[in-house]
A and B are shown apart, each in its own frame.
Chain A
């Protein structure tokens, strides 16, 4: 893996930027964001953009220069920013480094704030992809989730995104209290009909810091919904290329693949996570702390990180690779982590995991659809191989 010394040649990296503003916290959300009611305060956004600029400069100085492979602007609600702020943001991002190899640049958007002016701007810039937080196309379920949009708004936003010519992905949630297989099917098929090329299907889970976890409703068993998605989406040409992601051939998210392939990801913005040469690190947790650190030149980046032992990294690499349909590539994995580790992992998967969950061939080891359904248990088992 890479080293931490500055090098003269641009290093190809993925970049995650966190935009920490939203209108209101959704009940299930455990990401960091500042609920600002309407539009975020101009002056605060200006400070944020200024700090971002400083962070990019600091990163280029220590780890750069970079050539950017993929970019992901997440939140919060990035689409909440005004057109002018977006213009500034794109300028700031362009200062990261060489964008000539940029393969994919995604922005997360909320159906309520996805405006024509923004999609046009993105289309004319280096952005390539919109990830729209649809979550459900059932008004009752959207209310349970505490979303501010209704199904109608979501469908209109989907249409706007698709029409803009940007690749469009939709996030959908299953396992919502009150959800039925019928309503899930409707959400899936309406989303497909809108013309998306990518769907992320997440089960509703409540982290302890999510607002809804206090009221902790009984969550339904996600199994039937997940199983149905695994059955339905491939029939519509959407391959399950990762445990929670389905895409038409060629529309997989390259940025997300970087996480699962243990590739370098730079973190920008408050509460963003990065991965750099084996170091997984986290930025300052709140906007306030982030602005404070910007004034001091971002001194703490490495101290908030965690560097796993070589062995633990290898096990994690296997776990992440197994999440994807490409699985563990034998040759590549052995080259990176050694043959003994590959054998050990293979032995575990052959002996401790039911045979219908794993598929072995000469090039790779992958999870089957059934294996993906019990991914956590397999993950836990692999972790059990331990550090020793």
Chain B
């Protein structure tokens, strides 16, 4: 295929704006997949994604297309993950394309994340084609959607296409426009090989399969290749294209999109954003934009049953084969036993991982409250990266604590502005700007600690705005903050699983909420049990679990003795599942209830 007849593009769309359906129509229109083979939303590969109706990432696909003028074309559709957690993957997918369809729902208008992704595409030099989707709906306002794209994103919408992925309107026009507007890929087939890995997946039989876009040179079977970031070198077993099933080909030239199998065992060796080059004739430099993905949200995963620790470890190892962005290392908790501290790109990423462990690997687990990574400068000038509350040194040894901040854009109907502002302020957000996109819609920009965002911000924003708000965020770095570690002491003994980091001003409030909750959850014991929240040695709030005042078996003759003993022995069995903090036994259920509530509190 001539390079001039290749078009590489992606689709930028907000969740629910019809990306998957549109992709399906394109496949049908180009006869890549016969209509009868078509499962609904064919390219959503994870069952979990289909179930939630959200697409994290579509499988790439190569379409053959004959245009009106009779020319043959190759169209490669590369997807961008539709969630803020995956910003880096988005940028790598965009880097593999020359153009993008900007899909906007004619009934909803532009959403925050769409703007962010569109800007990223523009920044990377992509040609943007606005598509107004869902024009079949009675509530569609295509003209308003167009105006929003013009006013909010700043794109020229004279050429915007009107389409309905549902009934097929406008699909043909989209294909013609892709050919007309999106530039062909450039690149010298004889130059040293440079192929961008925009995604990689793990296959049980073939090992790692890298999804690549060849930028220059040629990638062929048998070639010795070098992963430039990891310096791992392998021989190519197979190259191929997505139709959408894996279909081997001889070679991939500049501008082509396909996959490489090269005996790579772990995803860590073939990282997204890395450049593949020829080991014998390496390119002088890798393609720009590679960085190591860094976890931003951490939480502990513990097996519900202590004995299930090995199963959890195996499951995590397998999951990481499929998702290199997850990090994990063993940790122990006085309360929860052996488990793992896991790192994720964001909350959705964490949720998805937890859900996949449950479903695909059938592991029953407890997730502790998520937290971010803090940077601590000690009085001696040492820098500590704190991944969990226990990484915090003693209060007196801390010079400064810095926490990650995000810049948050929220698009919201103007009637909800007051509520959203209140919510963001409660979450330590700092106001930056507010502008009216239309008389009815407002964009609010705030800077806010990531830690506040990850607790329950999204849920609360949705409930405060009846689901009408959309948001996007980007990291803007670390800022000094008045943060303190609040310890929870049960009967004078620190319970590590219960401690948390929070802002000084919120310490009393959150400490009070935590001890009150625990007071409800910890059953009365023979002794009165004080539950305290403390900062360093200073107790800020205390409640008491009152001593048991009555627990007595009235009747105890003959058979009662055996009956009662058996009952107590059964309880004792249950007690093995209790967590012991000093003299106090806390039922597992109380732990779970506490940790789960803490997430939302």
Contacts and interface: CB of A to CB of B under 8 A. Distances in A.
A324 B553 CA distance: 13
Interface of B: 525-527, 547-559, 561-562, 564-565, 568-569, 571-572, 575, 583
B552 A354 contact: no
Contacts of B549: 223, 373-374
A357 B575 CA distance: 23
B526 A280 contact: no
Contacts of B552: 203, 226, 243-244, 372-376
* Residue among A201, A373, A380, A384 with max Cβ neighbours from chain B (10 Å): A380
Given A265-B558, A274-B558, A223 B550 contact: yes
9 contacts: A223-B550, A280-B559, A354-B526, A372-B552, A373-B549, A373-B552, A374-B548, A374-B550, A376-B568
A29 to B, nearest CB: 11
Contacts of A272: 558
B562 A306 contact: yes
Contacts of B525: 377
Interface in A256-282: 256, 259-260, 265, 267, 272-275, 280, 282
Contacts of A352: 526, 583
Interface string A228-254: 000000000000000110000000000
B559 to A, nearest CB: 4
Given A259-B561, A316-B565, A383-B569, 10 more contacts: A205-B555, A223-B549, A259-B556, A265-B558, A316-B561, A354-B526, A373-B549, A373-B551, A374-B526, A377-B525
B557 A379 contact: no
B561 A380 contact: no
A377 B551 contact: yes
A380 B572 contact: yes
3 closest residue pairs by CB, A with B: A273-B558, A273-B559, A202-B554
Contacts of B561: 259, 280, 316, 320
B557 A256 contact: yes
B584 to A, nearest CB: 11
A10 B569 CA distance: 37
Nearest to A202: B554
Contacts of A316: 561, 565
Given A265-B558, A273-B559, A384 B526 contact: no
Contacts of B559: 273, 280, 282
A48 interface: no
B312 to A, nearest CB: 29
Interface of A: 16, 201-203, 205, 221-223, 226-227, 243-244, 256, 259-260, 265, 267, 272-275, 280, 282, 306, 316, 320, 323, 352-354, 357, 372-381, 383-384
Given A323-B556, A354-B526, A380-B568, A374 B562 contact: no
B526 A353 contact: yes
Contacts of A226: 550, 552
A326 B568 CA distance: 24
Contacts of B527: 354
B12 to A, nearest CB: 59
A373 to B, nearest CB: 5
B315 to A, nearest CB: 34
B526 A244 contact: no
Contacts of B547: 354
* Residue among A273, A275, A352, A381 with max Cβ neighbours from chain B (10 Å): A273
A378 B550 CA distance: 11
A221 B583 contact: no
Given A221-B550, A352-B526, A381-B526, A202 B558 contact: no
A384 B559 CA distance: 21
Contact of B568 (A202, A203, A320, A383): A383
A388 to B, nearest CB: 13
A377 B548 CA distance: 9
A16 B571 contact: no
Contacts of B558: 16, 259, 265, 267, 272-275
B260 to A, nearest CB: 60
A226 B559 CA distance: 23
B562 to A, nearest CB: 6
B550 A243 contact: no
A235 B547 CA distance: 27
A384 to B, nearest CB: 6
B550 A222 contact: yes
B548 A202 contact: no
A202 B551 contact: no
Nearest to A373: B550
Nearest to A175: B554
B339 to A, nearest CB: 26
Contacts of A243: 552-554, 556
